[in-house]
Structures are given as C-alpha cells and as structure tokens.
Structure 1
Amino acid sequence: MRQYEQLAKSIIQQVGGKNNINFVVHCATRLRFNLTDYSLANTEKLAKIDGVVGVNPTPTQLQIIIGSHVGDVFEEVVNQGIATDSSDIKEVSQVIDKDTNLFNKVIDTITGCMTPMIPALTAAGMIKVILSLCTTFNWLSNESSTYRVLDFIGDGAFYFMPILLAIFAATKFKVNTSIAVIVVGVFLHPNFTSWISSGEPISFIGLPIQPVIYAASVIPALLTIWMMSYIEKGVDKITPQALKIILNPTLVLLISAPLALIVVGPLGNYAGQGLAWVINLLQGQLGFIMVALLAAAMPFIIMTGMHHALTPIFVASFSATGTESLILVAQICANLAQGGASLAVALKSKDKSVKSIATAAGISAIMGITEPALYGVNLKYKKPLIAACISAGAAGCFAGFLHVTLYVPQNSLMAILGFSGDKGTANVIAGLIMMLLSVIGSFILTLILQKDENKAVTSTKEVQKQVA
C-alpha cells in the first residue's frame, strides 16, 4: 500500500464518504474539501486520525490541516476517485451553502484567486533580490546582457499579474479561461500601452478610455472576470443553440473587453489606489502598533483561514511600490515566533518522539509553514502559544518603529534576502534583529512559562495523532 493511501481513505470516510465530496483542492498545508452536506463530516474523528494536524471548518470548505506533505496526501485522495475542482460537479447550486454570507463568499473567492499566485511572486521576488546582491557586491553590471535578461525574468510575474489572476479567477467564477485571459490581456496589449505612452486621447464608439497602466495590477483583473461571469451567463441565454459555439465567445469578448477598458478597469484602478492609500495610512506614524497587533494576532487569524484575505493587500503594496512593511513583516514575526516556541518544547521534553515532532514542527514554522507547530504543539500546550504571541508582538513593534521593509514577498527565514534594497544595510540589520527577537524571545519565554513538563507533554501516541 502506498504511504498515504490509508490516510486518504480514512479522511474520505470521515468527511462523509465519496458521495458527499463535491471536490477537493489543497494549499501549502491544507486539504480543502467542498462537501454536499457538511453535517455528515465527523470533525472529532478527523482530528484524531494519525497524520491529521487539525480540522478547520469554514462556511464554504472543510479544511483538514496536514502539513508540508499535503501534496502527497492530496494525490492519494484524488486517486480514490475524488474530483479536483468544481468543473466536475453537475449540480453547482449544491456546492456553496445557501446560508453562506456575502463576506465569507468574498473571502473564499479572494483565497481561491490569490493563493495560487504566491509561489510565482516569491520566485520572481527572489530573482530581484539576487540582482540586488549582484549590483551591491559588483558581481554583475546592470548594463550586462545577463543582468538584463534576469531583470525581465524577475519582472515577469509582476508585470503579467493580471493574466495570472485571470486564469485563477476564471476557475473560481466558472467562466471560459481562454476568453478570460484574452479580455484581461487587452489591458497589457503593446498597442494599448504604447497608445497611453503617446499621450493621445483614447476612445471607443465615442466613449473615453482612461489612460491607465494595468501591469502588475490586481483589482481590475478580478473585477473584470467577475463582470464577465454575468455577461457569459446572459449571452448563453439569448443565443440560439445551433450558433452558440460561434456567437457565445464572440459576444462575450465584444462586450467584456470594451466594458473592461471603459468602466471596470478604471474603477478597479481607483480601488487599488484607495487600498494603497489605506496601506500608507496604516504604515504611518503609528504603523508600529499595526505591525505589533497583526504579528501577535496572526496565529488566530490563521486558525480562521483569514490570512489569505490579507494577500491582496500586500500584493497591492508590491504592485504600487515594490515594497511591503506591514502584513508580511508581521507574518515573519509570527511564523518565527511559532518556530521558536515549538523548538523550546522540543528542548524541554524528555520524550524522544515529542522532541522529534516538536523539532520538525519548529523548523517547518521557521520556513513559513506554521500549522504543524501551531496546532500540534503550541496550541495544545497553550503557554508556548502565549509566548509566541508576546514575542511576535514585541518583534513587530520593533520592526514598525524602524520601518523594516521587505523587497520580496516572503514570510519565512528566507526573508533575510528580502531586506536588501533601497534602504541599504540598516534595513537588513533591523530585519535580522527583528527575526532574532521573534525566535529567541519565544524560545526563552516558552522555557520560562512551560515549567511543568509532565502536564504539558501528553503521551507520545496522542501527540503523534495531532502532528503531521
């Protein structure tokens, strides 16, 4: 039997069986099930399955936390005959609970559209950091062809961000992906961008088009695909069955693209500017308070799955300024603090298995995957979680005072490279101190608070059931 086959079968059984599963997807650490009847899922038994770290029910998903090997478990779940996306569902009306409120639907949509983009943005950002190091240490001239090639490779993910969003949003809003990409691609067409650069007025059938540069934008693309989902449904209702294959895509494109350029795109641009203004306000003179509060509260935000709703905010910040000094800085503090607390539990425990589990969870948290440490160690013993929150808040306050800035979308130990940028060495040193405060502070506080090991550490078998 394959390594994770039994785990996959046990999970399927406890969520109500194959017939109760509409589809399943996964993120960095969680299986995300969309179920027909959520009442059939036994969350208590799910949490006790060996290999499951925790269970997080939401109004639109049943999230089962696995850990960094979630991709392997997901593959085994799919091998059992489970659909991987909503396109395989015949009754779409059963997919989303009718009682789900608007706020939860918006959060679920944002999560589905934004989360898949993170690896591309991280990779592109790291290339930009490498280029920064190359020029800082005179390894490459910024006039060399090698540098220039690497530069546009690093810019690619940011420049074509609307296209990436169109692909993921098309899946989320259930529209034709190829048409969605073409409609959003109009924003980036060379002729359109050069027309804007020329300064000449632009119009369509007498209606003015605002000269907006949409490269690296977020909100215009999301709003465009949302609009397109209604246009596609409307067109499908009015076209004759025999001509749908020709008329449907043609009409959708002819209606969606001009509306995107004339109305939706500019509105999205204004919304993006408003979001950037809010970010600048939060990062103002009292920004250290916001960073500290976010860092301390991040574990609880993660528990609710709301951390994905923060993605558009830091993406908008990177799109507008190429930097971020609020959300990702807070996440770095929180993640490293979780890792330090878990490593302290490992040091203090005399149980070899607990040592191994807590050590692995601590390292995972420092590298940006916090669920094993959060659910399997710190939350279970409570005091390590308190220590982590205090340390993260203190480190966030320090970072806010010194305006620690990231030049790469990163929230783990690898952010060390992301502090290198226009602010120079001082920002790198401040970032390193912030990270040390997070890890060492939570480590020491956990050693102090977690005094009674016998009460804190449960049996090896029980711990193993809670940590992947």
Structure 2
Amino acid sequence: MAKKKTKFDFDPVISALGGRDNVMSVSASTDLMKITTKTKLTDEQVAALKAIPVWDDVSFKGPDLKLVPNDDIEFDDYGSQLTQALTRNNANIKTKNVVGRVLDFVSQIFIPIIPMFAGSGILRGLLVLSTELHWLSANSSTYHILYAASNAVFYFLPILLAFSAGRAFKVDQISSAVIVAALMEPNIVNLLHHGATTGITHFFTIPVVLQQYSSTVIPAFLAIWLYSYAEKGLKRIITPTLQVIFVPLLALVVVVPSVLIVVGPIGIYLGQGLAAIMAWLVKANSTITGAVIGGLWPVFVIFGLHWSIIPIIWGNLASAGHDFIIPMAATSNFGIAGAAMGVLIRARMAKTRSLASSGLISLLVAGIGEPTIWGFAIPMRRPFIAACLGGASGGAVIGFFHVDGVAAVFGALTTLPGFATPTFIWYIVGISVAFVVSTLLTVIFGFDETKLGVNK
C-alpha cells in the first residue's frame, strides 16, 4: 500500500530545535535526517521532538541529532520540505551537496557489512600467509573451504548490498537481493563467450551486453534504485490481495532485463574507453599513466571498470612475460594501507581503531582493500582522498622508472616476488612513497569518526 501524503506542519519541529537560528546544518536521505544545532538540545526539547508522530527514533550521533522517520509518511517529500522550512531566510545554515548526500546514503548501506568485511579480510590474509610459509597447501580441500569462507563476502557483495539497499530505499529486501542475484546466476554467467569477461546476447530482439557482476557495487545500487520505482508503481496499480504474487513476479520480469540491457553496456563501454585512454597515456607519458592508475584504481574497481584493463595485463604477461600496469595498480593498495595507518594513528574511538587495524592487516598480507575502502575510508572521505593521492604519488614513481611485474597479483607484502625484476628496488620505492604520503595526509588533514556511527 502506498504511503499516505500529508500536508505537514513544521512549526513544532522548528520550535523543538530552538528555532531556525539554532540550526547549523541539515541533511536528509531516504530514511534519515541529521541536524546539527548551535546549542545542545535540552531533554525537554528532545522529548518534544519524540512526541511528534513522525519519528521512529530520535537520538544523538556524535554532535548530530539523528531523526529516523516512521513508515507512515512519504519521507522523501517530508524531508525535503522540512529542509526548506529550516533553511528558509537563514543563509547561515549549511546543507550538503548532492555528492555529500549520496556518500552518506552509500555509507548507510555499507555499515551493516563492515564487520564481515574486516573478518573476511583478515582470514584471507591468514590464508595467504599460511601458503607462503608452507603451513597449508593451496591445493588442499582445507584451503579451498577456508578460501570460500573468506571470499564469499567479496564475491557476493552485490547481493549483500542489494539487501541492505532495499532497507535504505524502503522496498522489500528479499526481492532486492533476488533481483541482483539474478545478475550472477550461472545461466547468465554461462552466456559470457568462452569464459571471456564480456559477451553479447539478446533479450527477445534487444541486444544485451554482458559483463562480470561479482564484486561490483554500482550495478547493485542502480538495480535497487530502479526496483524502488517499479515496486512503488506496481503497488499503486495492483490490489493488495494480489501484490504478494504479482509485485515480485513483474518486478523480476521488468527489472532484471532492464538492468542487464542498460547497466551492461555502460560498464563495458566505459571500460573500453578507459582501456583506450590507458593505452594512449602509456605512449604519451608513463609517469602520468602511473599516477592515473595508482590514484584511480580503487575507483575503477568500485565501478567494475578494471575488467576492461585486466585483459591488457593478461595479454602483456602472455606475450612479453611482464606487465607495467600491475605495479602501478599495486601502489593503490599501499595508498589505501597508508590511509588505514593514518586512521589507526589518529583515531580516538576504539571501534575506528579496530576497523583500521583489521583493514591494514588484510591489505598488507592479502592485498584486500574493501574492508578499508568501504569500512571507513569512503564514509570518512578524507582518508579515501588521501589514499588516492598516495597511490597516485607511488604510481608516478613506478611509471617514471618503468617498473614491471611478472605475475597478476594484488599489491601486498606477501606478493613481492611477483615484482622480482631488475626494477624491483624502484617498486619498493614506489609502494613506500604511496604508503607514507597517504599516511601523512590522513594524519595531517584528519577525519570525522562520527560518520561511522561510533560514539565511543
């Protein structure tokens, strides 16, 4: 049933907040409003807010007042109207821009997954260390079982994100997970041509460009964003007694093909364009190429664009026995590790330090960056920027000295043998620069721990 729309009276809210002049900043997403006031609200003011029949929860998140709406209102409409009411005739109030609101929204979706990121990253690192020290054979069944346990959260990340995004978009979470799971279902995977990364098939007569969706992020967000409109639209035209059957049915029929038809080409063509740019940059200036790859590789992975660069790496290894992109990309991991180290040094809250230490271990031992990227770097923003700048600095060094790699491996301390070429010393210099620059930038410019939802 569609949510009822109401003509809202904001005077009680504004009064409980101490008036417009007491409000410093305000931001609203689909399921949360955060307001920062000049003076801390009294118990009476908080009680007055709780008494307004709009909020399920009224609490403090660090210096911010966190307001969670109930399900009886169209909060997208309410939140935007309340923001306008609070900021009207008050130029001193800061409102977050679109990028800030999107990052806050994405962080809310990732927060429930963060603990499993940390645990999986450490387990992956321990497995790599165990095989390097010959405590465990990579061919043993024990290894494969433990590897599956450590890899599941990364491989099935789109499904986990879809489930979490379903809550943020206020749609059915199980349906959200199933829609994205369809993108990774074996019948879709088998349509990829001869195990290649991409392929073309058809939905009736409409071309469908396929790509690998495991471990990606953006396709899951786009799928659930599209599903949120589909579900709300279907519930408006289907009677409640039939919704339990026909809403999931029609959503699957409409959303899954739509995502494959639209998202697939976007990812493929952006990736091909990126590969062409990389080829041009290498010919033009290897130092700039190293800075671009080292600095932006985490962004490529987030959008799934790295799949178009990996075939270039494999081709270089097959034809020449070495490749220049691998060491450039490796510096991004050490840039991220530097951000984790910087957070570990400067953090005051125990939970933040725990996330930073687990992220640092998983990076240095296994080359797994997701626990750091999504666990705290992106939510706190400045550490992510520092990581990119550190990776760019190290990548520039790698590019300038034409460093090569001889194996398709992640950047980590345990994978150093993969860079055992005559340029090995410059690889060490490059990753050290990435780590140190990122660490220093994170420590110097700091970060806001309250963005992680921790308070102690």
Structure 2 gap segments, 5+ residues each: 1-15, 42-58, 85-94, 314-325, 361-371, 373-381, 445-454
List per-residue Cα deviations over 1:141-177 (Å, max 9, x = no partner). Answer: 2221112222333332232122122112212222211
1:333 paired residue number:
338
Distance in 2 separating the partners of 1:312 and 1:394: 14
Does the 8 Å contact 1:114/1:312 carry over to 2? no
2:78 paired residue number:
94
The one-letter code matched in structure 2 to 1:233 is K
Distance in 1 separating the partners of 2:115 and 2:99: 26
1:194 paired residue number:
190
Distance in 1 separating the partners of 2:208 and 2:294: 42
1:265 paired residue number:
263
Distance in 2 separating the partners of 1:360 and 1:237: 47
The structure 1 residue matched to 2:37, chosen from 23, 38, 42, is: 42
Does the 8 Å contact 2:175/2:248 carry over to 1? yes
Does the 8 Å contact 1:162/1:216 carry over to 2? yes
The one-letter code matched in structure 2 to 1:238 is I
1:256 paired residue number:
255
List per-residue Cα deviations over 1:48-73 (Å, max 9, x = no partner). Answer: xxxxxxxxxxxxxx99558xxxxxxx
Does the 8 Å contact 1:336/1:435 carry over to 2? no
Does the 8 Å contact 2:294/2:388 carry over to 1? yes
Residues 198 and 287 of structure 1: CA distance in aligned 2, closer, same or farther (over 3 Å): closer
1:142 paired residue number:
138
List per-residue Cα deviations over 1:57-116 (Å, max 9, x = no partner). Answer: xxxxx99558xxxxxxx9xx9xxxx87x65646341223546865444433333333454
Matched residue SS, 2:222: helix
1:106 paired residue number:
102
Residues 245 and 292 of structure 1: CA distance in aligned 2, closer, same or farther (over 3 Å): closer
Distance in 2 separating the partners of 1:205 and 1:441: 55
1:10 paired residue number:
none
The one-letter code matched in structure 1 to 2:202 is S
Give RMSD over aligned pairs. Answer: 5.6
Does the 8 Å contact 1:338/1:365 carry over to 2? no
Does the 8 Å contact 1:116/1:168 carry over to 2? yes
The one-letter code matched in structure 2 to 1:162 is P
Q: Where in structure 2 are the equivalents of 1:27-176 lying within 5 Å? A: 34-35=33-34, 38=35, 41-43=36-38, 45=40, 64-65=61-62, 88=71, 90-92=73-75, 93-96=77-80, 97=83, 102-114=98-110, 116-176=112-172
Matched residue SS, 1:209: strand
Matched residue SS, 1:107: helix
2:225 paired residue number:
226
Does the 8 Å contact 1:124/1:154 carry over to 2? yes
Distance in 2 separating the partners of 1:180 and 1:128: 28
List per-residue Cα deviations over 1:384-404 (Å, max 9, x = no partner). Answer: x9xxx9999789735641479
The structure 2 residue matched to 1:181, chosen from 137, 152, 177, is: 177
Matched residue SS, 2:202: strand
Does the 8 Å contact 1:160/1:216 carry over to 2? yes
Residues 65 and 421 of structure 1: CA distance in aligned 2, closer, same or farther (over 3 Å): farther
Residues 134 and 42 of structure 1: CA distance in aligned 2, closer, same or farther (over 3 Å): same
2:377 paired residue number:
none
Distance in 1 separating the partners of 2:186 and 2:170: 28
The one-letter code matched in structure 2 to 1:90 is I
List per-residue Cα deviations over 1:387-427 (Å, max 9, x = no partner). Answer: xx99997897356414799977xxxxxx9757657436959
Deviation for aligned residue 1:214: 2.2
2:211 paired residue number:
212
Residues 279 and 122 of structure 1: CA distance in aligned 2, closer, same or farther (over 3 Å): farther
Distance in 2 separating the partners of 1:124 and 1:131: 11
The one-letter code matched in structure 1 to 2:246 is L
Q: TM-score, normalised by structure 2?
A: 0.54
Residues 42 and 251 of structure 1: CA distance in aligned 2, closer, same or farther (over 3 Å): same
Deviation for aligned residue 1:273: 2.2
Residues 237 and 424 of structure 1: CA distance in aligned 2, closer, same or farther (over 3 Å): farther
Does the 8 Å contact 1:339/1:363 carry over to 2? yes
Most deviating of 189-198 and 266-275 = 266-275
Deviation for aligned residue 1:260: 2.4
Does the 8 Å contact 2:157/2:215 carry over to 1? yes
Aligned residue pairs, count: 337
List per-residue Cα deviations over 1:182-228 (Å, max 9, x = no partner). Answer: 11111111233234356997433343433433222322222111111
The one-letter code matched in structure 2 to 1:132 is V
Residues 215 and 91 of structure 1: CA distance in aligned 2, closer, same or farther (over 3 Å): closer
